[in-house]
C-alpha cells in the first residue's frame, strides 16, 4: 500500500512539473532548447524540398496495435506527430500519403488527418489520404512500396512499430527518415535509411514536430530527473566514502 502511494505521488509530481513548465514557459522556448537531432532536421528539410518540388510526403505509421502489447507507445507517438506533419505538408501542392498497418491505428490516423485538413480548410484535398495497406509484414511492406512508387513521394517518414520489412519501403523511397521500437527495424533503418532515430529518440517525435508544448515539457522533466538522480548518486557516494 505504501509503495503504491509513493509511486502515485511520484507520478503526480512529474505530471505537475510538466504542467507548470507548459504554463510558465513560452512554447518557443521549450522547443528551441531541445537537443538538436539530425533526423528531425532532415525531416524538416525534406518537407521543404517536397513542397518546393511539388511532390508529396509519405508517412508510414507502422502496424502496431493501440490495445496492449509493447508497441502501443510507439504507435501513440507516431499518431502524435501525425497532425503537425499533415498541417505542414498541406502548405504544398499535394497532401501527404499516410499508410497504416493496423485497424485501430488506422481509425485514429484517419480522424487526426481529417481534423488537420478541416483546420486547414483542405477537406477536398484529403480524400483517400490515409490507407490501411496490410496487417502483416509482407502486405504492409508491399503497400508501402506501392504508395512510395505510385505517389512519387519526395520523402518518406516512418514511425511506429515496423520490423525488417521496412527495408522494402526504404529501398523504394527517394529519402527515408524514421525510427521504430523493433530492434530489427532499427538495424535496417541505421544501415539503409538516410537518417535513423534510435532508442528513445523516436519517442521524442511529438516534441520535435511541435505537436504540443506538453511533449517538449516532458523531455525537460526527464532531463531534470536525470540530473536529480545523478546528484543523489554522487551525494550518496560521498557520504558513504567520508562518513564513518
Residue scoring higher pLDDT (115 or 31): 115
Q: Helix or strand or coil: residue 203?
A: helix
pLDDT digits (tens, 9 = 90+) for 150-198: 556 778 888 888 888 888 888 877 788 888 888 888 888 888 888 888 8
Domains of the chain: 36-212 (3.40.50)
| Whether the model pTM is above 0.95 | no
Distance of CA 117 to the CA centre of its chain: 19
The tens digit of pLDDT for each residue in 199-227 reads 788 888 888 888 777 777 777 778 877 88
At a CB cut-off of 8 Å and minimum separation 6, what does 49 contact? 154, 155
Rounded to an integer, what distance in angstroms lies between the CA atom of residue 48 and that of residue 50? Answer: 5
With 80 as the cut, is the pLDDT of residue 84 above it? yes
pLDDT at 145 over 60: yes
pLDDT for position 122: 79
pLDDT tier at 95, thresholds 50, 70, 90: confident
Report the sign of the C-alpha dihedral through residues 74, 79, 81, 86, in that order: positive
Residue, of 1 and 188, whose pLDDT is higher: 188
Residue 19 pLDDT: 65
Amino acid at each position: 500500500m505504501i509503495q503504491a502511494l509513493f509511486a502515485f505521488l511520484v507520478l503526480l509530481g512529474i505530471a505537475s512539473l510538466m504542467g507548470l513548465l507548459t504554463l510558465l514557459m513560452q512554447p518557443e522556448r521549450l522547443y528551441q532548447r531541445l537537443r538538436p537531432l539530425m533526423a528531425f532536421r532532415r525531416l524538416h528539410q525534406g518537407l521543404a524540398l517536397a513542397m518546393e518540388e511539388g511532390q508529396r510526403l509519405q508517412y508510414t505509421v507502422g502496424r502496431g496495435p493501440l490495445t496492449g502489447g509493447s508497441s502501443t507507445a510507439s504507435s501513440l507517438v507516431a499518431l502524435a506527430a501525425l497532425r503537425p506533419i499533415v498541417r505542414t505538408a498541406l502548405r504544398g501542392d499535394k497532401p501527404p500519403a499516410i499508410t497504416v498497418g493496423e485497424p485501430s491505428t488506422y481509425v485514429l490516423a484517419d480522424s487526426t488527418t481529417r481534423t488537420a485538413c478541416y483546420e486547414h480548410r483542405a477537406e477536398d484535398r484529403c480524400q483517400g489520404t490515409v490507407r490501411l495497406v496490410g496487417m502483416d509484414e509482407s502486405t504492409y511492406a508491399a503497400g508501402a512500396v506501392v504508395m512510395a512508387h505510385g505517389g512519387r513521394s519526395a520523402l518518406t517518414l516512418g514511425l511506429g512499430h515496423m520490423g525488417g520489412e521496412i527495408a522494402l519501403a526504404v529501398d523504394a523511397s527517394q529519402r527515408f527518415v524514421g525510427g521504430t521500437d523493433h530492434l530489427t527495424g532499427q538495424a535496417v533503418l541505421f544501415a539503409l535509411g538516410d537518417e535513423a532515430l534510435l532508442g528513445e529518440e523516436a519517442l521524442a517525435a511529438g516534441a520535435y514536430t511541435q505537436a504540443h508544448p506538453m511533449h517538449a515539457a516532458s523531455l525537460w522533466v526527464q532531463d531534470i530527473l536525470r540530473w536529480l538522480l545523478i546528484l543523489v548518486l554522487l551525494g550518496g557516494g560521498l557520504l558513504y566514502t567520508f562518513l564513518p
